[in-house]
Structure 1
Amino acid sequence: MNSQAIIRGVLYLTLTLLGVPGNLLVMWAFCHLALCDRKLLPADAIVLHLASVNFLVVAVRCFLEMLAAFSIANVFNDTGCKSVIFIYRTSRALSIWLTCVLSGFQCVSIAPPGSRWSGVKTHAPRYLGGIFLFLWVLNTSISSPSVVFSMGSHNDSTQMEHSINVEFCFVRFPSSTVKQANGAVQVVRDVVPIFLMVLASLFILVFLYRHSQQVKSIRSAKQNQKQSAETRAAKTVVTLVTLYVLFYGIDNVLWIYTLTVTQTMSSSLVSDLRIFFSSLYAAVSPIIIIASNKKVNSRLTCVRPEKGPQSMDTTLSTL
């Protein structure tokens, strides 16, 4: 086993050890909450769905890549490549879009009564199932070319024009135009939700800042508690948006490079870096959710959550 394979295996092992248990804990916490309370708030349902697709990103791609890198097991034949790449691309895209939906829902939730968004806040939860279905259909459709063009690395690499080398697999396109068109669609699919998510997060931060200025002169214990909740929510929003812009920004820069290089096949090193950065959010995000979400903490620490009127902490801490 060469040093490059060892480094690749260690990187994927790290992502697996972080992402698989972390996302499983978040999923278990919200499933337990749903069983005990017999319902989930819309924001909680979004986070549960987000943790599920993040689990798929890490468990399907990183775990199997780690096994192949250490020569423990290799499922990357033609069928394995088609399945793994399709599931990975679909779940990765859903992770971006669900975080965008979560940011948008939080943005609508804190809208003041009487605003133009108050009606949206009332009707949004009933459309959540339809939104999930639409996102699944959209992203599985965009990822479907991977089923057609993916193949195992046992094929003759000398005849792989217009291909992308992903170490254990090849994604072979029939022409350079198809390759660039497919890449452009994926870039747009990623950039649009990131842009919307940044706008929603900026709105939340502006709202929190204005609200903190309004209650700045009030020093009661209740207001101090609300102030800390606002600060915690703002930090969570900034952290998640920064992670998305950083990780997926690097991922898309590498993807654009892959599409524009003059070589007929891109290097597997570039592909490894893309997979690492695009999977890094799926591995790190459950840590942020566990650290900032009181509902998850209460389930993991076996502490019964306090019942009381819903505050801004309840609305925003699910981020």
Structure 2
Amino acid sequence: MESDMLTRGLLYLFLMVVGVPGNSTVIWAFLHLGYSERKLLPADAIVLHLACVNLLVVGVRCLLETLATFQLANVFNDTGCKAVIFIYRTSRSLSIWLTFVLSAFQCLSIAPPGSSWATLRALVSRYLGFIFLALWVLNTSMSSAAIAFSLGSGNGSGLMQHGINVQFCFVRFPSRLSRDANGAGQVGRDVVPMALMATASLIILVFLYRHSQQVKTLRSGGATAGKRQGSSAEQRAAKAVVALVTMYATFYGVDNGLWVYTLTVQKTMGSSLTSDLRIFFSSLYAAISPIIIIITNRKVSKRLSCRREDEKPVQSADTALSTM
């Protein structure tokens, strides 16, 4: 096996080894939580959905790429390429949008009771299932080009004038205009939630900073215990928001930068290196994000450590503000 193929296989193997157990753990923890409590809070439902689509990203694309690279199994004929690329693009974009939904919901959760923002949060909670459905419809429709234009590498030779080489598959567009239009649509689909997520996260961080300053001025005697607990929860929430947004901006920023480079530099069309790097960085978020969830979410960590605590009827500050 050539060194570049070995490196490629090891990178995909790393994503699979980290991402599949991590996302599976998060899914198990929240399914166990839903079974034991007979319900899931909206933020928990969003995280569960996010872990499911992240598992699709690393479990479908990275697993199959690893098997094909090491010549253990190869499903990348015409039908396989259409299915894998379609599922990958849909789940990848859903991962981005669900991260935004999570940040936006937590932004609404800090709104004071009785405000219009609190009313909007209640509406989001009530119609969360419809939001999930709308996101699936939006992202599957925007990924449908993969079904029409993807084909196996055995049928793609000589057809790369307006196509993209993704190692075992080709994505062939009928014209450069259609290729660029599809690429611009994908970039826009990523940039919009990125901007919205950054705005929501900034609002949360500003609120947490102001609240922490207020807590410092109110600390005195025995009355500070609850405040300190809330402050600790807010710090965990702030760290989780910063970590997820930073990861998102870094990995998907590189991914979209490489995508723009692929669309604008003609000579990259015949090489799979750029596409491999794009897939790696976009899948890296899906593989590493469950680690952030496991570290910052008490509900997940409690179930992993097999500790049970009595649940209080009133929602705690950690639940309300946790980005997980």
How many Å separate the matches in 2 of 1:12 and 1:124?
36
* SS of corresponding position for 2:158: helix
The answer as to whether partners of 2:149 and 2:171 remain within 8 angstroms in 1 is: yes
Q: Does 1:212 align with 2:212?
A: yes
Q: TM-score, normalised by structure 1?
A: 0.98
Higher mean alpha-carbon deviation, 307-316 vs 237-246, is at 307-316
How many Å separate the matches in 2 of 1:129 and 1:185?
25
| Runs of 5+ consecutive residues of structure 2 not aligned to the other structure | none
**Superimposed CA distance per residue, residues 102-158 of structure 1 (whole angstroms, 9 cap, x where no aligned partner):** 000000111112433121122221110110000000000000010010000012422
The answer as to whether partners of 2:57 and 2:92 remain within 8 angstroms in 1 is: yes
The answer as to whether partners of 2:164 and 2:270 remain within 8 angstroms in 1 is: yes
Q: Does 1:311 align with 2:319?
A: no
Residue 239 of structure 1 is matched in structure 2 by 243
* SS of corresponding position for 2:217: coil
The answer as to whether partners of 2:163 and 2:173 remain within 8 angstroms in 1 is: yes
The answer as to whether partners of 2:234 and 2:322 remain within 8 angstroms in 1 is: no
* SS of corresponding position for 2:267: coil
Q: Does 1:179 align with 2:179?
A: yes
Q: Does 1:225 align with 2:229?
A: yes
The answer as to whether partners of 1:258 and 1:266 remain within 8 angstroms in 2 is: no
Q: Does 1:146 align with 2:146?
A: yes
Q: CA deviation at 1:42?
A: 0.4
Q: 1:209 to 1:264 in 2, by over 3 A?
A: closer
Residue 198 of structure 1 is matched in structure 2 by 198
After TM superposition, where is structure 1 displaced by more than 4 Å over at least 4 residues in a row? none
Q: Indicate the RMSD between aligned Cα atoms, in angstroms.
A: 1.1
- Alignment counterpart, residue 287 of structure 1, candidates 287, 291, 299: 291
How many Å separate the matches in 2 of 1:236 and 1:58?
22
Which amino acid in structure 1 is aligned with residue 95 of structure 2? S
Which amino acid in structure 2 is aligned with residue 222 of structure 1? G
The answer as to whether partners of 2:160 and 2:270 remain within 8 angstroms in 1 is: no
**Superimposed CA distance per residue, residues 150-187 of structure 1 (whole angstroms, 9 cap, x where no aligned partner):** 00001242232200000000000000000000000000
Q: 1:140 to 1:51 in 2, by over 3 A?
A: same
The answer as to whether partners of 1:81 and 1:150 remain within 8 angstroms in 2 is: yes
The answer as to whether partners of 1:161 and 1:264 remain within 8 angstroms in 2 is: no
How many Å separate the matches in 2 of 1:56 and 1:293?
22
Residue 135 of structure 2 is matched in structure 1 by 135
The answer as to whether partners of 2:22 and 2:287 remain within 8 angstroms in 1 is: yes
Written as runs of structure 1 = structure 2, the 5 A alignment for 1:34-113 is 34-113=34-113
Higher mean alpha-carbon deviation, 43-52 vs 112-121, is at 112-121
Higher mean alpha-carbon deviation, 111-120 vs 166-175, is at 111-120
Among the aligned pairs, what percent are the same residue? Answer: 67
| Runs of 5+ consecutive residues of structure 1 not aligned to the other structure | none
Give the total of aligned pairs: 319
* SS of corresponding position for 1:265: helix
How many Å separate the matches in 2 of 1:156 and 1:295?
49
